[in-house]
Amino acid sequence: MDSQLFYPRRSFAFPPEQYTDFDKAKVVVLPIPYDSTVDWRAGTRDGANAIIDASHFLEQYDYELGREIFQVGIHTLPQLIPSMKGPEETVERVYLATRDLLAKDKFVVMLGGEHSLTVGTVRAYKERFDRLSVLQLDAHADLRDEYEGSRFNHACAMRRVVEMCPIVQVGIRSMSADDQDFIQHNKMRPFYAKETPLTEAEEQKIVSALSADVYITIDLDAFDPSIMAAVGTPEPGGMGWYEVLRLLKRVAKGKRIVGFDVVELAPREGPASCTYLAARLAYKLIGLAV
């Protein structure tokens, strides 16, 4: 008798056990329960496990790709425990864990947790891929140099990333004066959220602005709150489901996606459909990338 019927493992997308072996799996899911620098609605520490649990109910076959995505092999790690010493130490742990996985030729999917965690994964990826750029889907610029006494606050995530490699920001619709000053001083060109979805021409500009190897960081507040209310800092006027998918498909077609993260889900702040959306997005992006 299959013991998994009575003691189901916590495994992203819940593939058959032969597709979860670490040595054989191409994809490794790294869950991190962390929200220590969140300053409004907490709860993103519960995001990773919620996404994994919701993923058990996904249809494993993708009709667009014509295959069951899990067949690439998906291994789900235990949760990475944050450091009690503070945000910088936690980011260091994320870096060391990601570096170790990349040394084993794994495609890392980091599930947060708050957005500051991205700094650790990108640092490891930049060491391995010289031509790395980062595509950021987000409502917020996250370009402050420091916030509430820390340079590793979630509001500083992309400032630390842009110090390592170029970034392309999409869906932005909220920022501080410091963010705006940094954008202007460095002649950055974010793709701001608008009333209408991204046009084909805008999608192509986004892809053209990226380098050959792309890491994607998805802060779920990039989506409109009508479909993604379960975030700590929701902003009106966000992106739609099919708008995001069209962009990701275009990126996958024109560039090499080397890794990604999905962060800032606060499952208690919205309906269960939000958590399912995050799980479906991660599974789809694994298929597009791998």
Structural domain count, the chain = 1
- Residue span of the structural domain in which 194 resides: 3-289
pLDDT digits (tens, 9 = 90+) for 149-158: 889 898 899 9
**Residue whose pair of structure tokens reads 């249809």 in the numeric block:** 59
Question: Which pTM value belongs to this model?
Answer: 0.96
Q: Which of 142, 152, 135, 117 has its CA nearest to residue 235? A: 142
Percentage helix, strand, coil, to 5, in the chain? 40, 20, 40
pLDDT at 1 over 60: no
pLDDT at 139: 97
Burial of 74 (0-12, 13-18, 19+ CB in 10 A): buried
Lowest mean pLDDT among 71-75, 84-88, 103-107, 114-118: 84-88
Residue 235 contacts residue 174 (beta carbons within 8 Å): yes
Residue 100, domain CATH: 3.40.800.10
pLDDT digits (tens, 9 = 90+) for 194-223: 878 999 999 999 999 999 999 999 999 999
pLDDT at 202: 96
